[in-house]
Structure 1
Amino acid sequence: MQHITGEVWQQLSSAYPSHHALFRATFKHINERYGSTGRHYHNMEHLGQMLTLLAQVRDKVKDPDSLAFAIYFHDIVYKAGSNDNEEKSAAEAAQFLQQLGFSPADIRKVTGWINATKAHQNPDNDPDLNYLLDIDLGILGAPLLSYVEYTRQIRQEYSMFPDLLYNPGRKKVLKHFLNMPFIYKTAAFQQLFEQQARENITWEIGTL
């Protein structure tokens, strides 16, 4: 997965030949952040998985490059249990995109997408945001063995909480997903992952 994160970043940078130094420094920063201690799931592997899924639906996305930037930055600030990870991540994205010369409107679009990964809501039904939110939840529909590993990694990230606190909170989140008419917002992801995601979540609830 490390390969695709560097490959896609290089493709993005090719559109900004006068900003290669900025891209090099920022990719180093991305690697340092996503590779920091305590990141068992929200790491470079997670980025690679998301970029792989983006590649599969790229022809359905209106602004795939901006969506890719949102993916790279969406968890650049991550502390388990913190309430402002997305806001801080969006602020870093805004600073980077401003240096690239993005318009204020396009910066607001990308930062809005990043902030939306907090509650996974899309009240304006922005089609590109629907894909970002589905890509972020792609792991829920992974084969069961991969999903089991994901649950272990998430538990490690929240290891500061005892089971007495963690299990009820996790169960509440999972039941919320099951109670939704669809976990995924796009037809493509519903077809690919909806059934498996519901089976995985039901399995995990049974373990808590």
Structure 2
Amino acid sequence: MKRIGFSGTLDPITNGHMWVIGEARSIADEVIVFLSENSTKQPRFSAEERRAIVLESCAERQWDNVQVLVVKSDYTARVARKHGVDYLIRGIRTTADFDYENLIQQTNVEVIGGAKTLFVMPPRDLGSVSSSFVKALEGPVGWNWTTKKFVPAPAYRAWITSWLHKEWQASFPGAPAEAWFARLTGADGYGGATRHYHNLDHLVHGLAEIRAWAANTGATAQDADLVRAAFWFHDAYYGHEPSSVSNEEASARLWLGSGLEPDAGRADEVATLIRATDHLQGGHMAHPLKDILLGVDLAILGQDEEVYSHYARGIRAEYGHVPDDRYGEQRTRVLEHLRGKAYAGTLFADPWFAEQYNEPAIVNMTRELAALA
């Protein structure tokens, strides 16, 4: 077969969609993805954004025989025939899928004279994966780590960046703040190639933790806003080269120079919280919300084993310039110190974070220490 088509809204494209495209590639010389621009839906991404995500996802897999066309105000099956495509390929996950797709297939062929449909059945691990399924995961603590397993990397980056943008606009509305969002999430910030842990994932996780803390403890909106602002900037600067100031101090100064908080007193409070995460000077910082920000920052230690392992690999990658033996020694000292605080009940000074994460943190750190031994 020379050419086969695949159609969908693809908001976002999932690993299930990618599997179907891969099947299409195995039976045709060329695959055309027909991306629907449906005016009755309200997608997260525009048609052109979705097109770029699909192309990037295919490029990452070196699929150079896939093109993407946006379908506007027309039947996909009819557009497919106009482009020399006689067959569309569709994934069937359930009997309900078959009944629906069979009806569409009959309409496509008998009513509008469009392309016929080939049905394929995805493997069991992709049987429940759909765009709706992925969208339903968004929000709770850890949602990003779960979502990552079901979508290709370009779709994941676009999805969490979109989520972060909504969070940013809620904290810092207005056009002047947009440049700072681009700076913080871009290549020189949390989106940098060398940010293997202190990256966009870290931002998403921490902001979700703040939301959960505020919802479960009755924290005031003002307190939650202060913690959020500090968390956005607490690792804005992250370098390994020797400097006259720490990363946290440089991040605090970056915040103070941003002008995002016109109230000088509140701006100073946020800077104090940022400095509180500095293991050198943080102990001398005093602020009523200090324990909250530290709890948010350390909450990763108490996640499930899969998430913690991802974190541990990320930390190792960020210190890839350090030889294995030296890294093992330094990481062991850090973990023993943190585990000692967990045993003493002082790792999470805030009761809410302690209840959630202290015991799992001990288990996780003990496991990593054993692997380092």
Aligned twin of 2:357: 193
Of stretches 46-55 and 31-40 in structure 1, the one that deviates more from structure 2 is 31-40
> What's the CA shift for 1:106?
2.1
Of stretches 35-44 and 76-85 in structure 1, the one that deviates more from structure 2 is 76-85
- Higher relative strand content: 2
Judging changes above 3 Å, is the alpha-carbon distance between structure 1 residues 151 and 196 closer, same or farther for their aligned structure 2 residues? same
Aligned twin of 1:204: 368
Q: Does 1:36 align with 2:203?
A: no
> What's the CA shift for 1:164?
1.3
Aligned twin of 1:165: 326
Task: State the alpha-carbon separation in 1 of the partners of residues 308 and 260 from structure 2.
Answer: 38
**Percentage of identical aligned residues:** 29
> What's the CA shift for 1:4?
3.4
8 Å CA contact 2:276, 2:285 repeated in 1: no
> What's the CA shift for 1:112?
1.3
Q: Could you tell me which of 11, 36, 49 is aligned with 2:170?
A: 11
Task: State the alpha-carbon separation in 1 of the partners of residues 260 and 366 from structure 2.
Answer: 45
Could you give the per-residue CA deviations for residues 70-122 of structure 1, whole angstroms, max 9, x where no partner exists? 111111111246562111111110012x354122x322211111111111855
Task: State the alpha-carbon separation in 2 of the partners of residues 36 and 54 from structure 1.
Answer: 23
8 Å CA contact 2:177, 2:260 repeated in 1: no
Task: State the alpha-carbon separation in 1 of the partners of residues 301 and 266 from structure 2.
Answer: 30
Task: State the alpha-carbon separation in 2 of the partners of residues 11 and 124 from structure 1.
Answer: 28
Judging changes above 3 Å, is the alpha-carbon distance between structure 1 residues 10 and 152 closer, same or farther for their aligned structure 2 residues? same
Aligned twin of 2:230: 70
Of stretches 76-85 and 61-70 in structure 1, the one that deviates more from structure 2 is 76-85
Q: Does 1:130 align with 2:284?
A: no
8 Å CA contact 1:122, 1:129 repeated in 2: no
> What's the CA shift for 1:7?
1.7
What SS does the aligned partner of 1:176 have?
A: helix
Aligned twin of 1:118: 278
Q: Does 1:57 align with 2:213?
A: yes
Judging changes above 3 Å, is the alpha-carbon distance between structure 1 residues 204 and 99 closer, same or farther for their aligned structure 2 residues? closer
What SS does the aligned partner of 1:34 have?
A: coil
The TM-score with structure 1 as length reference comes to: 0.89
**Aligned amino acid, residue 135 of structure 1:** V
8 Å CA contact 1:184, 1:190 repeated in 2: yes
What SS does the aligned partner of 1:38 have?
A: coil
Q: Does 1:102 align with 2:263?
A: yes
Aligned twin of 1:87: 249
Judging changes above 3 Å, is the alpha-carbon distance between structure 1 residues 81 and 139 closer, same or farther for their aligned structure 2 residues? farther
8 Å CA contact 1:80, 1:157 repeated in 2: no
**Aligned amino acid, residue 190 of structure 1:** A
Aligned twin of 2:27: none
8 Å CA contact 2:348, 2:354 repeated in 1: yes
Judging changes above 3 Å, is the alpha-carbon distance between structure 1 residues 88 and 123 closer, same or farther for their aligned structure 2 residues? closer
Aligned twin of 2:120: none
- Higher relative helix content: 1
What SS does the aligned partner of 2:198 have?
A: coil
What is the total number of aligned residue pairs between the two structures?
A: 201
8 Å CA contact 1:81, 1:158 repeated in 2: no
Of stretches 45-54 and 119-128 in structure 1, the one that deviates more from structure 2 is 119-128
Aligned twin of 1:17: none
**Aligned amino acid, residue 206 of structure 2:** M
Unmatched runs of 5 consecutive residues or more in structure 2: 1-143, 145-159
Task: State the alpha-carbon separation in 2 of the partners of residues 24 and 87 from structure 1.
Answer: 23
What SS does the aligned partner of 2:236 have?
A: coil
The TM-score with structure 2 as length reference comes to: 0.51
8 Å CA contact 2:230, 2:273 repeated in 1: yes
Q: Please say which structure displays the higher CA radius of gyration.
A: 2
